[in-house]
Amino acid sequence: MILTITMNPSVDISYPLAKFNINDINRVKDVRKTAGGKGLNVTRGIKYSGIDVLASGIVGGTTGEYIQKKLTENDIKYDFYITKQESRNCIAILHEGNQTEILESGPVLTEQDVIHFFNHYQTLLSQAKVITISGSLPQGFPVNFYVQLIEKANKNNIPVLLDSSGNMLHEVLISQNKPYLIKPNKSELQQILQVNIDEQNIDSLISAVNHPLLDNIAFVIVSLGKNGAFARCHGQYYRVTIPRINVVNPVGSGDVTLAGLAVGIHQNEPVEVMLKRAMTMGMLNTMESQTGFVNMQNYDGYFQQVVVQQVMDK
């Protein structure tokens, strides 16, 4: 089973409007509400791939109940720590080809919540073969909290796939407790390493993934949007190229890519297959209007078109 961790999930609300009237009333007919948060996109990607998955993290209040209701509707198993605070709403207003977002920062949690969640997490470890951790931490959690989750998983020999950024990722990279895999996109990697990466230049990519901050991480997968990915896997380098496709909504592609990587590791797939799977999942997500959804009927056709090429360091 794959355990996915989403520490600050949300009810994602989308309001499509022909015109967005500022300082006036806007009436919406086609409201869409989904269980949101990067880790829940990962969860759906794993579920669509037919692998047993359990979603965990923290929810609370009526919003938290709604998140669980939506997961139940999708037949997704979950076991959250329930806090007394209310989970957040995130609103996307889709208007005139634009997307205006209003994102609540979410509940401010207490030291007790930190302790209770950590205990809850420990009770789930015996079921997990692979763990994914995605997104940011709720307010009130220490910035190095992911280090603690990874340390516990490593002690239990469970590989952790981490998709986070900024301070939370930095804390992990400078710690002794390394995740098994990270999947930054190019701008996240540039920001964390404080370097410029030329994605057309193999030397630039190799030098980035060999940065000392990334030492002792078995898999570093740099996703490059329409240009596929570059990966360092157990000391070997791979350039992954993907076909040109019609993109409807790229939001959440990185999350669904992580789902593909988690499935590949869970199934002990060869690196080439795992990378092709991950890219195919990312592409399928970009072809759907709904964030974090994929149509698996198109999987085989796109999988065949992904090219994985091993490259050598000079």
Binding site for ligand ADP (CB under 6 A): 185, 223-226, 228-229, 242, 245, 247, 250, 253-254, 257, 279, 282-283, 286
How far, in Å, CA of 55 to CA of 261, rounded?
17
Q: How far is the CB of 247 from ligand ADP (least distance, A)?
A: 4
When the beta carbons of 35 and 283 are compared against ligand ADP, the nearer one is 283
Q: Decide the pairing of beta strands 229-233 and 236-241.
A: antiparallel
When the beta carbons of 159 and 282 are compared against ligand ADP, the nearer one is 282
Q: How far is the CB of 298 from ligand ADP (least distance, A)?
A: 13
How far, in Å, CA of 14 to CA of 93, rounded?
6
When the beta carbons of 140 and 225 are compared against ligand ADP, the nearer one is 225
Rg (CA), the chain: 19
Residue nearest ligand ADP by beta-carbon distance: 254
When the beta carbons of 130 and 283 are compared against ligand ADP, the nearer one is 283
Q: How far is the CB of 110 from ligand ADP (least distance, A)?
A: 31
Residue that is written with structure tokens 């999947």 in the block:
183
CA distances from 218 to 88, 181, 231, 265 (A): 34, 6, 10, 12
Instruction: Pick the closest to residue 287 from 241, 240, 250 (CA basis).
Output: 250
Instruction: Pick the closest to residue 101 from 291, 303, 311 (CA basis).
Output: 291
When the beta carbons of 63 and 185 are compared against ligand ADP, the nearer one is 185
Q: How far is the CB of 231 from ligand ADP (least distance, A)?
A: 10
When the beta carbons of 39 and 64 are compared against ligand ADP, the nearer one is 39
How far, in Å, CA of 65 to CA of 78, rounded?
12
Q: How far is the CB of 28 from ligand ADP (least distance, A)?
A: 27
Q: How far is the CB of 210 from ligand ADP (least distance, A)?
A: 20
Instruction: Pick the closest to residue 14 from 95, 92, 102 (CA basis).
Output: 92
